[in-house]
Amino acid sequence: MGCFYCSKEKYKNKRKSNGLCEKRLRNLRAFEFKELRDATDGFSRMLKIGEGGFGSVYKGFIKPANGKGDSIVVAVKKLNPNGLQGHKEWFAELQFLGVVEHPNLVKLIGYCAVDSERVVQRLLVYEFMSNKTLGDHLFNKAYPSLPWNIRLQIALGAAEGLLYLHEGLDIQVIYRDFKASNVLLDEKFKPKLSDFGLAREGPSAGNTHVSTAVLGTYGYADPDYVETGHLTVKSDVWSFGVVLYEILTGRRSFERNRPPNEQKLLEWVNQYPTDSKRFNRIIDVRLEKKYSLRAAREIAMLANCCLSKKARDRPKMREVVEGLKRAMTFEELDGEVETAEEDAPPCSDIERPSDEAVVAKSSTRRMIQLAKLSESADSILKRRFVIMKLAGNPT
């Protein structure tokens, strides 16, 4: 199997890199299907820990490569045999994770590929991440809320993982599916990017983008990429901006069960500018005001830069990392209680009457006033008539 960035046809001068890739790929374990079936108790539902377009993920227990010592806990991803994109994504993950190496990328341990007349099996084996995903802790109330400092550490680690993909290899790697559910957390809540099925090699020399079919997740995909099909590393930067706001607010990028003006996260946060007194209304209430307001403003401004409409106006991931580090220097937990004035909804939330409604209401008031004047005049005339009649017919 050829390496994704060491193809001899395209990179004849990268023999050193080619050798490194082949060495890393050789370090992957080739598992027998029976071995992984036994490791997951027959792919038991009790051991299922995740599911996606690729297939299902199971917790498993394998023996060390040398057969000595205690079993190792792993995560086993099993391809859905009926999936159309499954094999392509399995192969992409094997190519990318088989050669990359970084503390903030999930480690691929091995793989399994079985081709027979009856069935085709494709599996990948990863290191096990005991604290699930960032999405679980942000959006699922069954999980404890992440403290402020842990959220920032997760954001920084994820940013450094993307930076490595963009600048730390011989070529650029575009992740293309950055979202909270793809950020795994280990026992110390250290983040690691996972699920590289949609990853793509960046543009070759002289090109500004990769033209490709639009793939990704709704709410996280770069609008410029969706509109043009032009994929760049700045597409990852846009997705990162979305997740930064998810970390601040504890809300998903899109939540259908919220009021219409709150369903789309980015539209909702725009109602509370970073320099306004209302800004702290967007901060996750589960933080219980234990956060740095100044750092939160810095992170929101950084997110806004990442979400710039034009890709060229977005920062590089190196600049994002530097911005997060600056924000983390503000350590005071000064989350404030909103004042009564700040509790008032933003202007855009206040339903203002139309000009036609104002005119109609004014006209109605005038009609009521004229009716009252008419009633008063009629009453006076009636009293005068009674007095005149009594004066002409004394008793």
Q: Which of 177, 195, 222, 224 is catalytic?
A: 177
Orientation angle between helical segments 317-327 and 293-306, nearest 10 degrees: 170
Rounded-to-integer distance, Cα 72 and Cα 64, Å: 7
Name the token pair of 310.
């034009």
Kind of pairing between the strands at 191-193 and 183-185: antiparallel
Tokens found for residue 320? 């994002």
* Amino acid in position 131: N
Cα 150 to Cα 50, 54, 143, 223, 311, distances in angstroms: 23, 30, 14, 30, 29
Asked if 198 and 236 touch (Cβ cutoff 8 Å), the reply is no
Q: Give the residue carrying structure tokens 């220097």.
A: 329
- 206 backbone dihedrals φ, ψ, rounded to 5°: 90, -10
DSSP code per residue over 159-223: HHHHHHHHHSSSS-EE-----GGGEEE-TT--EEE---TT-EE-PPTT-S-EE----S-TTTS-H
Helix ranges (DSSP H) in the chain = 15-26, 33-39, 86-97, 134-139, 148-167, 223-228, 233-249, 265-269, 293-306, 317-327, 340-343, 355-392
**177 tagged catalytic:** yes
Residues that constitute the known binding site:
78
Going by the annotation, the residues of the binding site for ATP are 78
Q: Which two tokens stand for residue 319?
A: 């600049």
| Active site members | 177
